[in-house]
Structures are given as C-alpha cells and as structure tokens.
C-alpha cells in the first residue's frame, strides 16, 4: 500500500472529481425521483379509474426490476431506438425511475396513514377533495414519510456506484482507474471512497433519526 503516492494532489483531485460527479448524479436523481414518486404515489392513492391501475402496474414493474438492468436498458437499448444519452444522464434517468417507484410506495403509504376521520371532517366542512388532499392529508403525510424517504435517498447515493458499469467517471470508476495505474493505490483509494460515502450517508442517517424522533 502506498498512501503517500495515492494521496498526492493529482490523484486526490482525480478521486474528488469523481466524488463530485457522484454528488451531482445523486442530487439530480433525488429531486427528479421525489417529484416523480410524489406524483405517482398521489395518483395511486386517489384511485382515479384506469389511470391508477396503469400507474400501479408501472410502479410494481419498475420496483421488481434490478436497477442495473434499468441503467443498461437506458444506456444500451434506447440508443438503438433513436434515444441516446451520455452516461451521466443515463444514470440520472435510471436512478430517478427506480427510486421514483420506491418513493411512490412511501408516498402512498404516508397518505393512507392519515386518519380517515380527518378527511371526512374536512369534506363535511365544505372542502373539495383536492383541497382536502393538498391542505389536510399531504402536509401530515409528508411529515410521516420524511424518515423513510431520507433512508431511500441514502440508498440512492450508494446506488450511484452502479454507474461504473457504463463508465460514468464517478467516484468508484475513478477508484478503479487509479487502482489500474498502481496496485498499491487500490486500498488507499478504496478507503478514501469509503470515508466519503460514510460521511455523506451518516449525515443523512442523522437527519432521518432526528426526523423520526420528532415524529415520535
């Protein structure tokens, strides 16, 4: 192991550049998956005829597919259909679809957890269904679903490492490249990658625990 060589500034900067790509992918995927998951979960909760059933099939199908398969499909199959994306966006789209399906279930469960008596009271007071959903159900549900949603985002950040398979220059890909330059660099690079993942994920886990404690 050559820690001094592995942590020379050019090598360290190369790894940090990969980590920055990881954070960019994770950040965009979190935003897109949250929006998509909230939309799909709300549609499933409202039980709109036909549309809710279609959304349910789509969500259940995506949730039961490996994330790696989804990324492969977007990056390799879609270009053959005329839809070509660079590795960065292939990863973002794949993560957003997969995590969006997971979040959709969290949202649906959160909405269902709101006591029906509150819904009936809001409707009897003259509020429309959409007013009840946006003003009564959703605010309470968002507080309840925050801890599991943060936990899902932690999984999302770790799942960005799967993009190594399509050569996205994220953290683990750069670790692989650096390790290819010298075998002595592999362990130091992996330890640094583990530390970076740990710092971000542990910080998010603290947020999740505090949210859960506040809920309790």
Half-sphere exposure of 145 (CA within 13 A, CB side): 27
Q: What is the pLDDT of residue 38?
A: 92
Q: What is the pLDDT of residue 122?
A: 66
Contacts of 197 (CB under 8 A, 6+ apart): 157, 158, 171
Start-to-end C-alpha separation, the chain? 47
Contacts of 205 (CB under 8 A, 6+ apart): 150, 151, 154
| DSSP count for the chain of H helices, then E strands | 10, 0
Q: What is the pLDDT of residue 193?
A: 94
User: From CA 151, how far away is CA 174, in angstroms rounded?
Assistant: 26
Q: What is the pLDDT of residue 13?
A: 95
Domain range summary for the chain, segments of one domain joined by +: 3-215
Q: Are 93 and 166 in contact (CB under 8 A)?
A: no
CATH of the structural domain 3-215, one choice from 1.10.3720.10, 3.40.50.850, 3.30.1330.60, 3.10.20.10: 1.10.3720.10
Q: What is the pLDDT of residue 215?
A: 65
Task: Provide block-wise average pLDDT over 10 residues at a time, the chain (216 residues).
Answer: 84 95 96 95 87 93 94 92 92 96 92 77 71 76 83 91 91 92 89 94 84 69
């Amino acid at each position: 192991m050559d820690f001094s060589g592995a942590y020379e500034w050019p090598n360290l900067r190369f790894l940090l550049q990969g980590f920055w790509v990881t954070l960019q992918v994770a950040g965009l995927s979190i935003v897109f998956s949250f929006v998509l998951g909230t939309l799909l979960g709300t549609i499933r909760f409202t039980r709109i005829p036909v549309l809710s059933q279609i959304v349910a099939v789509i969500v259940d199908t995506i949730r039961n597919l490996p994330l790696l398969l989804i990324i492969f499909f977007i990056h390799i199959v879609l270009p053959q259909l005329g839809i070509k994306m660079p590795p960065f966006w292939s990863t973002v789209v794949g993560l957003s679809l997969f995590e969006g399906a997971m979040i959709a279930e969290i949202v649906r469960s959160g909405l269902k957890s709101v006591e029906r008596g509150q819904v009936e009271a809001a409707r009897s007071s003259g509020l429309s269904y959409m007013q009840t959903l946006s003003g009564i159900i959703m605010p309470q549900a968002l507080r309840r679903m925050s801890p599991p949603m943060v936990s899902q985002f932690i999984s999302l950040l770790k799942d960005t490492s799967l993009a190594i398979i399509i050569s996205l220059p994220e953290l683990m890909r750069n670790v692989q490249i650096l390790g290819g330059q010298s075998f002595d660099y592999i362990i130091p690079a992996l330890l640094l990658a583990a530390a970076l993942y740990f710092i971000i994920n542990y910080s998010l886990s603290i947020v999740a625990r505090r949210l859960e404690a506040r809920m309790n």
